[in-house]
Amino acid sequence: MDMTAAAHPSSPIADGPVGPVATGPRDPHDRAGRRLRSLDLLRGVTVAGMITVNATAGVQGMDKPVFAPLLHADWAGFTLADTVFPAFLTMVGVSIAISAKPDAGGAAATRRVLARAGRMILLGLLLGHMFFLADFHKYVPRLPGVLQRIGIVFAICAILYPRMSGRARAIAAGALLVGYWGLCLLPMPDGSATDLWVQGHNFVSWVDREVFGNWRYVKGPDGYDPEGLLGTLPAIAQGLLGTLTGDYLRRGLPVPAAAKRLFVAGVAGMAAGLAWGLVFPIAKNLWTSSFVLLSTGLTVALLGAFHAWFDRDDRPATKGDLFGSFGRNAIAAYVLHDLASIILTGDAIQLPFRWLAPVTGTQVAALAPVAIFVAIVWYPIAYMDKRGWYLRV
């Protein structure tokens, strides 16, 4: 990892949890000489969403009532919280396409991709073992994780991108999604009945239990890991779909036309996901193919809306905004929020809840410590952005 000082990050995701296929002086958001501010902002919204969702879960863990949309679905279902991580994976693919250089398929670029992905996976493992290292007896470490999945998806998509045409990547994504459906329906070797609508009653979850043992997110006989082994396959498909979106943005079409087509494509993806969800449940915990289509479609539609508004020629080129700061320094924001999560267990940050609960009700009051935590993370990130400091893996 290194801290780079510059007027702007050198890549669309250099400051985020992934990096470009190759580096160079050209701004990889440059579309006919103009940076895609929409991608920075949407990525920033996603990072802010991740922090908000994790903080909300922390507040709930202290027996505070919270708004259900800010929590992940227990198993099948789709909440606001379920949108943030898949949105980030989609934008990983978008950024790979936008930042690609002519030498992206070369050996040197491939080594950089693998090194960067390896560092990301290692960082994820370190964060996943943080509490375990503090107390061996109280905590059990977790092997899979968010950063590990991002690293794997980035590596595979970045390596495939310069070696496959758009049509080939679309076919590969479709094959992964359909093939994963088949994997989920395989009978479990222990003889248990398969039911995709019931937690852990499927072959994919069984593999997680066998491979990771207790080093997984959800323990018990029906346990699983939402970032598990086989579930990485549809996540790779999500990244590949993101590269197709990036290909489209690289064409340099007029902003209104490009934004409209992105929005329509996103709505079509959501409709396909909802339709598939009738027979293959929409479940983030299993990262089902229907979930991939629904969440990717939503991200593409939002990117179209952001593109229409923020990438217009008459928009001023500002950067010191809340979400843009998160988007340009996503990895620093994510790591900082993970390290600072212990703040949520302190009495001081819970005081606003106690003050507000009699007036606003407990659910609204529970938003106060969440908002304070997001602000605590945002301030140093905004300062880093102002100084041109970007943490890169």
Long-range Cβ pairs for the range 381-387 (8 Å, 24+): 381/325, 381/326, 381/329, 381/332, 381/333, 381/336, 382/320, 382/322, 382/325, 384/325, 384/329, 384/332, 385/319, 385/320, 385/324, 385/325, 385/328, 385/329, 386/320, 387/5
Q: How far apart are CA 124 and CA 118, in angstroms?
A: 10
3-state secondary structure of 11: coil
Q: How far apart are CA 291 and CA 13, in angstroms?
A: 24
Say if CB 22 and CB 109 are below 8 A apart.
Answer: yes
Per-residue pLDDT of the chain (393 residues; tens, 9 = 90+): 555 544 343 333 433 433 333 333 334 444 443 468 899 999 999 999 999 999 998 888 777 788 899 999 999 999 999 999 999 999 999 999 999 888 888 999 999 999 999 999 999 999 888 776 666 667 778 899 999 999 999 999 999 999 999 999 999 999 999 999 999 999 999 989 999 999 999 999 999 999 999 888 899 999 999 999 999 999 999 999 999 999 999 998 899 999 999 999 999 999 999 999 999 999 999 999 999 999 999 999 999 999 999 888 777 665 547 788 898 899 899 999 988 887 877 777 888 888 888 898 888 998 999 999 999 999 999 999 888 888 877
Unique residue bearing structure tokens 């937690």? 199
Say if CB 259 and CB 249 are below 8 A apart.
Answer: no
3-state secondary structure of 65: coil
